[in-house]
Amino acid sequence: MTPQLIIITGLSGSGMSSAMNVFEDLGYFCVDNLPVQLIASFVHLFERKEFGVTRAALGINIREGEFLSSFPQVYAQLRGRDDLETTVLFLEAGDAALQRRYSETRRPHPLGEGRVLEAIGEERERLAPIRALADVVIDTSEHTVHSLRAWLKNRFAPENSATQTDITIISFGFKYGVPLDADLLLDVRFLPNPHFVPELRALTGNDQPVIEYLDKSEEARETIQRFNGLLDYLMPLYQREGKSYVTVAIGCTGGKHRSVAVANALGKHLNQQGMRARVTHRDVKK
């Protein structure tokens, strides 16, 4: 198989960092903000068989000083190689979308703070020659992080890799707010609360005494069983619809006992069913 090099570039705020994360998840060797002068040296990794690098992604943006002047020549050299498949991925978005993102994150534009629209227009003009070289151009104006991830996985995942929905089970406390990125939200505040058991209060849902306490509750056991059944039913449907990332939020009052134990149980079940699930506990240390 011919080694693959993906060069990710585009407008600031268009999702380049998110794109890099996707390629890393796809098994690409990823390097962000690599100076253009070092691309040729980086390509030598493909020639060193002992490193085992066959797919790589490089992130380059306008902050790299020599990018605009040097990249066209470097790109021409890369495309002239028969032993390397090079693809330039250019991300962009409309002015309104970019301005909104800068307003939400409150980060300054790399071309100037306090004049976002002018800086966006200047960057768009300066990157026009790079955009003209791109093999793939993506307008991320209407994309979320999850939909962009799905698009990139469908386009760049190796042909022999099985597309599978990534599932995140996150426990949280309602008193600290609901996770904004949750696709499914399950409330377990009706279960017996270990917080009111003196010897369990300082523990968490990761500790065996809390797990045993909840396991003694018929309601807790049946709740976990029913939640498992719900996820067993829903996850194949999400995958059929091309949903590459699903976040399931499990909430109790403080995010320390019940939600933690239930999230762990659901994650264990999903992984035993051959799905790809990871469990995180947002508020367990609060």
Burial of 136 per CB tally in 10 Å (0-12, 13-18, 19+) = middle
Question: Residue 258 region, left (φ>0) first, then alpha (ψ -120 to 50), else beta?
Answer: alpha
pLDDT digits (tens, 9 = 90+) for 156-212: 876 545 456 789 999 999 999 999 889 999 999 999 999 999 999 999 999 999 999
- Work out the mean pLDDT of the chain and round it to a whole number: 87
The CATH code of domain 4-156 reads 3.40.50.300
| Residues 194, 131: Cα–Cα separation, whole Å | 57
Domain boundaries, the chain: 4-156, 166-281
Neighbours of 135 (CB within 10 A): 12
At how many degrees (to 10) do helices 218-240 and 258-272 cross?
Answer: 50
Straight-line distance from the first to the last Cα atom of the chain, in angstroms, rounded to the nearest whole number: 50
Model pLDDT, residue 163: 57
Q: Indicate if the pLDDT at residue 68 is higher than 60.
A: yes
Pair of tokens at residue 175:
């008193």
Model pLDDT, residue 269: 96
pLDDT digits (tens, 9 = 90+) for 14-54: 899 899 998 988 888 898 888 888 888 888 887 776 667 78
